[in-house]
Structure 1
Amino acid sequence: MPKLPLLFATTPFPTLFFLLILSIFQVISQNLDDERSILLDVKQQLGNPPSLQSWNSSSLPCDWPEITCTDNTVTAISLHNKTIREKIPATICDLKNLIVLDLSNNYIVDLTANNFSGDIPAAIGRLRELFYLFLVQNEFNGTWPTEIGNLANLEHLAMAYNDKFRPSALPKEFGALKKLKYLWMTQANLIGEIPKSFNHLSSLEHLDLSLNKLEGTIPGVMLMLKNLTNLYLFNNRLSGRIPSSIEALNLKEIDLSKNHLTGPIPEGFGKLQNLTGLNLFWNQLSGEIPVNISLIPTLETFKVFSNQLSGVLPPAFGLHSELKRFEVSENKLSGELPQHLCARGVLLGVVASNNNLSGEVPKSLGNCRSLLTIQLSNNRFSGEIPSGIWTSPDMIWVMLAGNSFSGTLPSKLARNLSRVEISNNKFSGPIPAEISSWMNIAVLNASNNMLSGKIPMELTSLRNISVLLLDGNQFSGELPSEIISWKSLNNLNLSRNKLSGPIPKALGSLPNLNYLDLSENQFSGQIPPELGHLTLNILDLSFNQLSGMVPIEFQYGGYEHSFLNDPKLCVNVGTLKLPRCDAKVVDSDKLSTKYLVMILIFVVSGFLAIVLFTLLMIRDDNRKNHSRDHTPWKVTQFQTLDFNEQYILTNLTENNLIGRGGSGEVYRIANNRSGELLAVKKICNNRRLDHKFQKQFIAEVEILGTIRHSNIVKLLCCISNESSSLLVYEYMEKQSLDRWLHGKKQRTTSMTSSVHNFVLDWPTRLQIAIGAAKGLCHMHENCSAPIIHRDVKSSNILLDAEFNAKIADFGLAKMLVKQGEADTMSGVAGSYGYIAPEYAYTTKVNEKIDVYSFGVVLLELVTGREPNSRDEHMCLVEWAWDQFKEEKTIEEVMDEEIKEQCERAQVTTLFSLGLMCTTRSPSTRPTMKEVLEILRQCSPQEGHGRKKKDHEAAPLLQNGTYPATYKHSEKESDNEDDDNFI
Structure 2
Amino acid sequence: MTKLTLYCTFFLLLLSHAKSQLYDQENTILMQLKQQWQTAALDSWTSSNSSHCSWPYITCTNNSITALSLIELNITDTIPPFICDLKNLTYLDLQWNYIPGSFPKVLYNCYKLEYLDLSQNYFVGKIPDDIDRLAQIRVLILGGNNFSGDIPPAIGRLQELRTLHLYNNLFNGTFPPEIGNLSNLEILEMANDNFVPTRLPSSFTKLKKLTRLWMSNANLIGEIPDTIGEMEALEYLDLSRNSLTGEIPSSLFRLKNLSVLYLYKNMLSREIPPVSGAYNLSQIDLSENNLTGKIPDGFGKLENLIGLSLMFNQLSGEIPEGIGRISTLKVVKLFTNNLSGVLPPDLGRYSMLEDFEVSNNKLNGSLPENLCYAGQLVGLVASNNNLTGELPASLGNCNSLIIVSVDNNELSGNIPTGLWTLLNLTQIMVSDNMFTGKLPDKMSYNLTWLDISNNRFSGTIPMSVSSWGSLRVFKASNNLFTGSIPIAITSLPLLATLLLDQNQLTGSLPSDIVSWVSLTTLNASHNQLSGQIPEEIGSLPALLSLDLSENQFSGQIPAQIGRLRLTNLNLSSNDLTGRIPTEFENAVYSSSFLNNSGLCASSPYLNLSICSFGTQKSSKISPQNLAWVLSTVIVIFVLCLLLPCFMIRLYWKRKQALDSKWKLTSFQRLNFTEANIVSGLRESNEIGSGGSGKVYRVVANGNVVAVKRIWNNRKVEWKLEKEFQAEIQILSSIRHLNIVKLLCCISSETSKLLIYEYLENRSLDQWLHKNNRPSTVSGSVHHVILDWPKRFQIALGAARGLCYMHHDCLPAIVHRDVKSSNVLLDSQFNAKIADFGLAKMLIKQGELQTMSAVAGSFGYIAPEYAHTRRVTEKIDVYSFGVILLELTTGREAKDGDEHTGLAGWAWRHIQEGNRIDDALDEDINEPCYLDEMINVFRLGIACTISRPSARPSMKEVLQILVRSSQLLIYGEKNAASEYDAAPLLRNSTPERLSSLDDDSLVSQV
TM-score in same-fold range (> 0.5) = yes
CA–CA distance in structure 1, aligned partners of residues 746 and 818 of structure 2 = 25
* CA deviation string 1:882-907 (max 9, x = no partner): 564x7x594x6667x64xx6223435
Partner SS state of residue 63, structure 2: helix
Distance 1:434 1:698, change over 3 A: farther
CA distance in 2, matches of 1:320, 1:793: 53
Alignment of 1:234-633 (within 5 A): 234-572=264-602, 576-581=606-611, 584=612, 586=614
TM-score (norm 1): 0.70
Return the alpha-carbon distance in structure 2 between the equivalents of residues 327 and 259 of structure 1: 18
Map residues 875-954 of structure 1 onto 2, 5 A cutoff: 876-877=905-906, 879-882=908-911, 884=913, 890=917, 898=923, 902-907=925-930, 909-918=932-941
Distance in 1 separating the partners of 2:567 and 2:745: 28
Which of residues 167, 182, 187 is equivalent to 2:217?
A: 187
* Alpha-carbon distance in structure 2 between the residues aligned to 1:517 and 1:738: 34
The question of whether the paired residues in 2 share the 8 Å contact of 1:175 and 1:200 is answered with: yes
Residues 515 and 832 in structure 1, CA contact (< 8 A), matched pair in contact too: no
Q: After the TM superposition, which of the residue ranges 355-364 and 481-490 deviates more from structure 2?
A: 481-490
Q: Tell me, yes or no, if the aligned pair for 1:917 and 1:925 is still in contact at 8 Å.
A: no
Q: Does the 8 Å contact 1:287/1:308 carry over to 2? A: yes
List aligned pairs for 1:773-852, cutoff 5 A: 774-775=797-798, 778-783=801-806, 784=808, 818=844, 821-822=847-848, 846=874, 849-850=878-879
2:88 is aligned, of 62, 65, 78, to 78
Distance apart, 1:788 and its partner CA: 5.9
Q: Paired residue for 2:982, among 956, 964, 967?
A: 967
Bigger mean CA deviation after superposition, 234-243 or 670-679:
670-679
**Counterpart AA for 2:925:** C
Q: How big is the shift at 1:443?
A: 2.1
Larger relative contact order (Cα-Cα within 8 Å, sequence gap ≥ 6): 1
* CA RMSD, Structure 1 to Structure 2 (Å): 6.3
Match of 2:896 in 1: 867
- Deviation of 1:76 after TM superposition, in Å, equals 5.6
Amino acid at match of 2:983: H
Q: Distance in 2 between matches of 1:681 and 1:514?
A: 32
CA distance in 2, matches of 1:974, 1:883: 19
Q: Distance in 2 between matches of 1:698 and 1:455?
A: 50
| Separation in 2, partners of 1:923, 1:358 | 35
Q: How many residues align?
A: 860
Partner of 2:204: 174
- Could you list the per-position Cα deviations for residues 28-72 of structure 1 after superposition, in whole angstroms to 9, with x for gaps in the alignment? 9997996799859xxxxxxxxxxxxxx7xxxxx5399999xxxxx
Contact 1:741 1:864 in 2 (8 A): no
After superposition, where does 1:114-129 map in structure 2 within 5 Å?
A: 114-129=145-160
Residues in 1 aligned to 2:588 and 2:769: alpha-carbon distance in whole angstroms: 11
Deviations 1:794-818 (A, max 9, x none): 8999999999999899999766774
Secondary structure of 2:251's counterpart equals helix
Q: CA deviation at 1:767?
A: 5.8
Question: 8 Å contact 1:798–1:806 — kept in the other structure?
Answer: yes
Cα distance, 1:78–1:334 mapped onto 2, change above 3 Å: same
Counterpart of 1:289 in 2: which secondary structure?
coil
Give the conservation status (yes or no) of the 8 Å contact 2:482–2:503.
Answer: yes
Deviation at 1:676, TM superposition (A): 12
Q: 1:48 matched to which residue of 2?
A: none
Per the alignment, residue 174 of structure 2 pairs with 143
Matched position secondary structure for 2:517? helix
Moved more, 109-118 or 830-839: 830-839
Displacement after TM superposition at 1:427 (Å): 2.4
Task: Please give the alpha-carbon distance, in whole angstroms, between the structure 1 residues aligned to 2:864 and 2:904.
Answer: 16
Percent identity between matched residues is: 43
Deviations 1:420-439 (A, max 9, x none): 22222222333322222222
SS in 2 for 1:918: helix
Partner of 1:217: 247
CA contact (8 A) 1:306 1:331 kept: yes
The one-letter amino acid paired with 1:215 is: T
Q: Is contact 2:799–2:957 with CA below 8 Å preserved after alignment? A: no
CA distance in 1, matches of 2:674, 2:467: 53
Sort the Cα spacing of 1:904 and 1:828 in 2 relative to 1 into closer, same or farther, 3 A. farther
Q: TM-score, normalised by structure 2?
A: 0.68
Q: Which amino acid letter does the alignment assign opposite residue 202 of structure 2?
A: K
Q: Once the 2 structures are TM-superposed, how far is the Cα of residue 153 of structure 1 from its aligned partner?
A: 2.2
Q: Secondary structure at the match of 2:554?
A: strand
- For residues 543 and 983 of structure 2, the distance between their equivalents in structure 1, rounded to whole angstroms, comes to 33
**What runs of 5+ residues in structure 2 fail to find an aligned partner?**
1-46, 69-84, 98-108, 115-134, 619-639, 668-672, 1000-1005
Q: 1:147 to 1:728 in 2, by over 3 A?
A: closer
Shift of 1:499: 2.7
Q: Residue 605 of structure 1 corresponds to which residue in structure 2?
A: none
How far apart in 2 are the matches of 1:532 and 1:727?
Answer: 38
On the 8 A contact 1:350/1:374 being kept in 2, the answer is yes
Using the alignment, how far apart are the partners of 1:918 and 1:741 within structure 2? Answer: 20
Tell me if the contact between 2:677 and 2:698 (Cα under 8 Å) persists in the aligned partners.
no
8 Å Cα contact 2:775-2:784 kept in structure 1: no
Question: Do 1:668 and 1:731's aligned partners in 2 also have CA atoms closer than 8 Å?
Answer: no
Pair 107,346 (structure 1): closer, same or farther in 2 beyond 3 Å: same
Q: Verify the 8 A CA contact 1:106 1:130 in the aligned structure 2.
A: yes
Distance in 2, Cα, partners of 1:136 & 1:937: 16
The alpha-carbon deviation at position 301 of structure 1 amounts to: 1.0
Q: 1:151 to 1:715 in 2, by over 3 A?
A: closer
Distance 2:535 2:828 in 1: 42
In the TM superposition, 1:19-98 aligns within 5 A as 61-62=62-63, 78=88
| Distance change >3 Å, CA 779–CA 536, structure 1 → 2 | farther
Q: Relative to 1, partners in 2 of residues 1:816 and 1:194: Cα closer, same or farther, differing over 3 Å?
A: farther
Structure-2 separation of matches of 1:258 and 1:701: 47
Change (3 A) 1:146 1:397: same
Q: Which residue number in structure 2 is paired with residue 13 of structure 1?
A: none
What SS is found at the alignment partner of 2:154?
helix
Q: Kindly state the Cα deviation for residue 555 of structure 1 after the two structures are TM-superposed.
A: 2.2
Describe the SS at the equivalent of 1:123. Answer: helix
Any unmatched runs of 5+ in structure 1? 1-26, 41-54, 56-60, 68-74, 81-86, 94-98, 592-613, 958-962
Tell me if structure 2 keeps the 8 A contact 1:774–1:932: no
Aligned-pair CA distance for 1:397: 1.9
Give the counterpart letter for 1:861 in structure 2: G
Alpha-carbon deviation of 1:214? 1.5
Structure 1: distance between partners of 2:968 and 2:67: 60
**Distance in 2, Cα, partners of 1:330 & 1:516:** 32
